[in-house]
Amino acid sequence: MGPVRPNWTSCTEHRSDYLTNTPSTALVTGITGQDGGHIARLLVDEGYDVYGLIRGQYNPRRSSLEAEFPQVTLIEGDLTDPASLVRAIELADPDEIYNLGAVSHVGFSFKNPTLTLDVTGKGVLNLVEAVRLTGRADRTRIYQASTSEMFGGLDYNRPGSGYNEDSLFHPRSPYGVAKLYGHWIAKNYRESYGMFVSCGILFNHEGERRGVEFVTRKITHAVARIAAGTQDVIVLGDLWPKRDWGYAGDYVRGMWQMLQQDTPDDFVLASGETHSIEEFLQLAFARVGIDDWRPYVRQDPAFMRPAEVDILLGDPAKAEDVLAWRRDVDFDGLVNLMVDHDIALVKAGATL
């Protein structure tokens, strides 16, 4: 017997059932991460039964997650362990899966390339295969967290209007290469088995939940400490790269919207603006009344990468047209929100 191939385009009966039956059940991988926290908030507020995959026999992020989301059920599992994914899917029986788990730090991926491939690349295969093998190919919708790092920011493949869903890929790191595998295996399961797998090609998104190992949060947390007199300088790598930065809360709404469509598809989510790290520094320091940030910043090659992505700019036109996706927070608003949040944290004596 051939594979079950649901016709998502014409299945209006299924569509209306799907919508009238929501809120439903969701499983989130990477629930302890930045986007995991934002999507957990959105799904809980929408009335979903939310399950989260949590890795390790002891995970230091577990207690804060349980305190913030007592309604969420955590299931032990790991994207590199197919049996644990089958178990998680059978326990949660999800209508929607948000696959946010990954080794997500580009610099770290150069130092741990095989781990990155196993989690960020093969982990996607393990997940879609677990959905298929548990007989859910025709009823579980999957969001795959693809990334602008798949484009690479090179002169030859960079459209002036920004990267879109049809742009050429040229990843520049083990992370980008692993994500490209994840992107294509997700699309392959959509095409081969008719599975509802949508890939969001998301440009950088930040906010108060961002890990301090990423440049924006490293800056805003340091700026708050410098303003409080508890830190002297920030040590960074290259300052000239440009990124298309948005607010994570806006972007997880786009993820959810992708899974509420009639058909699975790929969408770029981006702000359509690009800014250098120097511009981010300028605004962050200005927020605490420091106009000349240069005396507070040192550079160290330890934070530079063997290959850099020089500039990223995305074109979110398709998501705006098809999903009616909109952003509430612009670049200035993002920097201010993050600095203000970290000033409050530092004042409260909280550690990161």
Binding site for ligand NAP (CB under 6 A): 29-30, 32-36, 53, 55-56, 59, 61, 78-80, 100-104, 119, 145, 147, 202, 204-205, 211
Residue 147 Cα distances to 56, 209, 281, 296, 345, angstroms: 25, 18, 24, 32, 30
Question: Which of ligand NAP, ligand F7E, none is residue 42 near (CB under 5 to 8 Å by kind)?
Answer: none
Catalytic residue, candidates 32, 147, 216, 274: 147
Count other Cβ atoms within 10 Å, centred on residue 306: 10
To which residue do tokens 């036109």 refer?
A: 317
Catalytic residue, candidates 25, 96, 98, 149: 149
Least distance in angstroms from the C-beta of 245 to ligand NAP: 8
Beta strands 266-269 and 197-202 are: parallel
* The binder of ligand F7E chosen from 61, 62, 305, 318 (CB under 6 A): 305
Chain centroid to Cα 31, Å, comes to: 11
- Closest CB to ligand F7E among 75 and 236? 236
Q: Give me 263's structure tokens.
A: 């058909």
Cα–Cα distance, 35 to 145 (Å, whole number): 10
Least distance in angstroms from the C-beta of 283 to ligand NAP: 18
* The binder of ligand F7E chosen from 140, 148, 220, 282 (CB under 6 A): 148
Burial code (b: 16+ CB inside 10 Å, e: under 16) for 117-138 equals bbbbbbbbbbbbbbbbebebbb
Contacts of 136 (CB under 8 A, 6+ apart): 89
Least distance in angstroms from the C-beta of 271 to ligand NAP: 11
Q: Decide if 296 is catalytic.
A: no
Q: Decide if 193 is catalytic.
A: no
Cα–Cα distance, 44 to 347 (Å, whole number): 30
Q: Decide if 147 is catalytic.
A: yes
Q: Of 80, 105, 102, 239, give the one whose Cα is nearest residue 183.
A: 102
- Closest CB to ligand NAP among 202 and 227? 202
- Closest CB to ligand F7E among 22 and 80? 80
Residue 241 engages ligand F7E in binding (rule: CB under 6 A)? yes
Residue 147 engages ligand F7E in binding (rule: CB under 6 A)? yes
> Which of the residues are catalytic?
147, 149, 175
List interacting residues with ligand F7E (CB under 6 A): 104, 106-107, 147-149, 203-204, 213-215, 218, 236-238, 241, 243, 277, 303, 305, 308
